[in-house]
Amino acid sequence: MNTPYINNQAGKIILANIYGEDKPGVTAQLTQILANHSAYILDIGQSDIHNNLALGILFQTTEGESGHILKDLLFKSYELGVTIRFKPISDKEYMDWVGLQGKNRYIITIVARKITAEMIAGIAMASAEQGLNIDDIKRLTGRISLNTEASKTPMASVEFSMRGTPRDKDALQAKFVSLSQEYNLDISFQRESMYRRTRRLICFDMDSTLIQTEVIDELAIANGVGDQVKEITERAMRGEIDFTESFRERVALLKGLDVSVMQGIAERLPLTEGLERLMKTLKTVGFKIAILSGGFKFFGNYLKQKFGIDYVYANELEVENGKLTGRYVGDVVDGRRKAELLRLIAQVEGVHLMQTVAVGDGANDLPMLSLAGLGIAFHAKPRVKENAKQTLSNVGIDGILYFLGYKDSIIDDETLNTPKAL
């Protein structure tokens, strides 16, 4: 059998749209008819919403076969209980459509506690105004039960695949920021590329990112200097004072604290919402995970053991006779050092920088957020949000998984963690 090809002599191009109740075998039986008549499928797409099928098949017939194919498809669709509609496509229409496929592609991911029609409309309108066309929309999170309390359905996520080139990318980003603030919505806008689909290294800040506290504040409270240290910490995170200078001042206030206090604080660390789910998934799919923290190595190592984290780089407190001296050992892990470490780990792991992800909340995280292929400001300070390309502010840290393109059906599949014998 000769394989058909696209030219003016090869036959007609026809778009078939099929609608109706979804059931096993519909696609198989309809495409079998095309196979029987040696038709060539140029494009195919299928979706299912509330058990209703929407199937589109763009095919080219061989010479003289179009009438037979349409008749057979009509009879089979009647037998299957679905509706089929046909539309002839001219060669020019087809080639114009093919030409559009070379345009840039972008992925817009939205994450919220609950997605509303206003959110979808806002994203679609903003994209259309910039000349982007929606190719595909899919829900990444699971279906919501009417009997499920809101507290048990903490996130909803939808991903848009867009084609085209924004007329003004900065204006589009600004519009997304406005929509995010108006609707308590997180929006990721990424260029579609092979790198987006092959992220392999993720680097986290620790304090106020993986854990919902600043450990140095906890140590200060235990040493009776909580208010003094907290005030310095907040100024540093807002970028109002140099991180290294602020770090030296805060550590000095910890002098005399018994090191035994640190273990108790580690065991009571308030983990960020969604952290266990995030870590489990990242390890399952093969990510290398690093903590790059301006906090303390003792607590980073505690999380390393708990979650199987691969790298921990943080500051080391000096200890003498079982007590903190108010000094630290080695260089401070500041913003510049975090970016250096991200680059170094990527080199060691043989990972392209575009395959890296960085997550943090403070001003000292901006260098690594800017360097990574995907930099995410998580529940971040205002200055960090203003300078980061991606922000996540309204859901737990496992919302990162949707920015990476994972679906709940994969994330929560227990078989991922239960290898079966072949």
Q: Which residues are catalytic?
A: 205, 207
> Between the CA of residue 299 and those of 261, 282, 340, what are the distances in Å?
12, 20, 21
Whose CA is closest to 254, among 179, 158, 323?
A: 323
* Residue 285 CB-density burial (10 A; 0-12 exposed, 13-18 middle, 19+ buried): middle
Alpha-carbon gap, residue 331 to 198, rounded angstroms:
33
Tokens of 365: 């995280």
> Between the CA of residue 348 and those of 81, 292, 345, 352, 356, what are the distances in Å?
58, 15, 5, 10, 13
Alpha-carbon gap, residue 298 to 197, rounded angstroms:
34
Please tell me what DSSP assigns to residue 61.
Answer: P
Q: 13 with 68: CB under 8 angstroms?
A: no
Alpha-carbon gap, residue 260 to 299, rounded angstroms:
13
Whose CA is closest to 123, among 66, 190, 178?
A: 178
Whose CA is closest to 266, among 298, 291, 293?
A: 298
Q: Which residues pair with 48 in a beta bridge?
A: 53
Torsion angle in degrees (nearest 10) through CA of 76, 77, 78, 81: 130
Q: 209 with 380: CB under 8 angstroms?
A: no
Sign of the C-alpha dihedral computed for residues 66, 72, 73 and 78 taken in this order: positive
Cα maximum dimension of the chain? 93
Helices (H), 81-212: 91-100, 117-129, 169-183
Parallel, antiparallel or unpaired: strands 323-329 and 13-21: unpaired
